[in-house]
Amino acid sequence: MQSRLQLGWSRWEILQHFATRGGALMIVNLLLTYDFTVRADGPNLIENLILWTYGLVTILLGAVVVALHSIERLAIERSQHQQKFSTPSEPSQRTPLLSNTPDNTSADARAEKAESMAFSIGNVILLALATALLAVNILIVPKGQTEIRDRSYWFWWWLVPAPSRLSEGPSLPVNTQGSMISQYTPLNWLPFGLFGIVYARLLTRYTRSCLSLVAQHLLASVLLASLFILTRLVPKFGNLTRHLVPVPSSTSRHPNNPYLASWQAFLYTCKFPPDIAYTSLSLSVGSALAAACYAARTGWKEKSPFLRFGRAPVFFYASNLLVFRFVSGFALTFFGLPPELAIGPAVFCYFGSLAIVWFLCKLYLRFKEARSSPDSIWRAF
């Protein structure tokens, strides 16, 4: 936002910037899932990937960023206007007209205080909204077969992932059979986007040393990991997977807590809609990885494949999906592997595809860097 404003962009141009990029992600999603839709049995309308969610969330978060910036600017200007006329004073004849006079210094301090207050209030609003949406994600999940069957297409498309159309049994909603499939519901991901806005605001506002960044990210990781452990020790708190984890036997060491029966159950969380367990675990791991990146040497980071993949995230996702499909199909045909790959061959095919994608990302970054316009759609990929 700040970089675009420094380029002289208007708020409307920034909104168009976010809308263009979000729409491009949704178009890429349609291209990647075209064969699924065409070859689907029944009147299947659309089948989305994570890019559909990211595209829509990008547009919504762009509107949130622009609206928040406009409100903060308005609040700062109003505060400065009130302070200007609340304490009028006539200049003395002996007071020199210099820029560093006490009155001007006081005015600068008041302006800085008003901006800091608006910044803090904006962060509190974003955190409160993200927490409220996270709670809504948990509360809207249907309970019982009656509630499941009463939901419409749009509920399963926007709010809660619908069971697969290939599933059978009484748990399959009638309204989703052969129609709209949503594995990644968009509105569930808004809390993470809002958390990301707060993180970016804090990261870009204050200048910190590398050691300070490492320590702060590690502290955040520890606090979030503690919250995740709390969800494991208290199964009724923040978990949407209690009915999916096998009930431990009466002879188990923890007969009343299924999450302590095995390490697989301990790490079992719900991503869509994200519960508190998944949110705390994923953000804790992300904070720890960020701390590791800040602690790593600059030379290693520049040579790391993660930096190359991260500089072309959408291209990496799309090419990785297509290349892995090609590599796994080739392995099935050439080596005579079963259609359902075991974990060993699947991992081998995946890392083999990453080597190809690494080279493709290298070529794409050369193409991307040749685009001089800051609004080039190719730079977003």
| Amino acid found at 309 | F
Residue 145 exposure: Cα atoms within 13 Å on the Cβ side: 5
Dihedral (CA of 315, 317, 322, 327) sign: positive
pLDDT at 83: 61
Pairwise CA distance, residues 40 & 336, whole Å = 26
DSSP 256: T
pLDDT at 172: 44
Q: Quick one: tokens of 162?
A: 């619908």
Pairwise CA distance, residues 20 & 55, whole Å = 9
**63: Cβ contacts below 8 Å, ≥ 6 apart:** 15, 18
Q: What is the CA radius of gyration of the chain?
A: 26
Closest by Cα among 163, 196, 182 to 50? 182
Are 163 and 182 in contact, with CB atoms under 8 Å apart?
Answer: no
Are 24 and 55 in contact, with CB atoms under 8 Å apart?
Answer: yes
Residue owning tokens 């159950």: 265
Are 284 and 225 in contact, with CB atoms under 8 Å apart?
Answer: yes
pLDDT at 223: 94
Per residue, the 3-state secondary structure of 40-104, as one string, reads CCCCCCCECCHHHHHHHHHHHHHHHHHHHHHHHHHHHHHHHHHHHHHCCCCCCCCCCCCCCCHHH
Pairwise CA distance, residues 332 & 337, whole Å = 5
Pairwise CA distance, residues 240 & 226, whole Å = 18
User: Residue 290: what are its φ and ψ, rounded to 5°?
Assistant: -65, -40
| Amino acid found at 181 | I
pLDDT at 174: 43
Segments making up each domain of the chain, as ranges: 2-86+104-205, 208-295, 297-381
- First-last CA distance in the chain: 18
CB count in 10 Å sphere of residue 329: 11
User: Residue 294: what are its φ and ψ, rounded to 5°?
Assistant: -70, -35
pLDDT at 169: 40
pTM of the full structure: 0.73
What region, left, alpha or beta, does residue 336 occupy, with left being phi > 0 and alpha being psi -120 to 50 degrees? left
Average pLDDT for consecutive 10-residue bins of the chain (381 residues)?
A: 73 84 84 64 60 86 86 75 57 50 60 78 89 83 62 72 48 47 77 88 84 91 94 86 75 77 85 85 91 82 78 86 81 67 72 86 85 71 69
Are 242 and 214 in contact, with CB atoms under 8 Å apart?
Answer: no
**187: Cβ contacts below 8 Å, ≥ 6 apart:** 133, 158, 159
DSSP 181: B
Could you tell me how many residues make up the chain? Answer: 381
Burial of 296 (0-12, 13-18, 19+ CB in 10 A): middle
Pairwise CA distance, residues 353 & 282, whole Å = 25
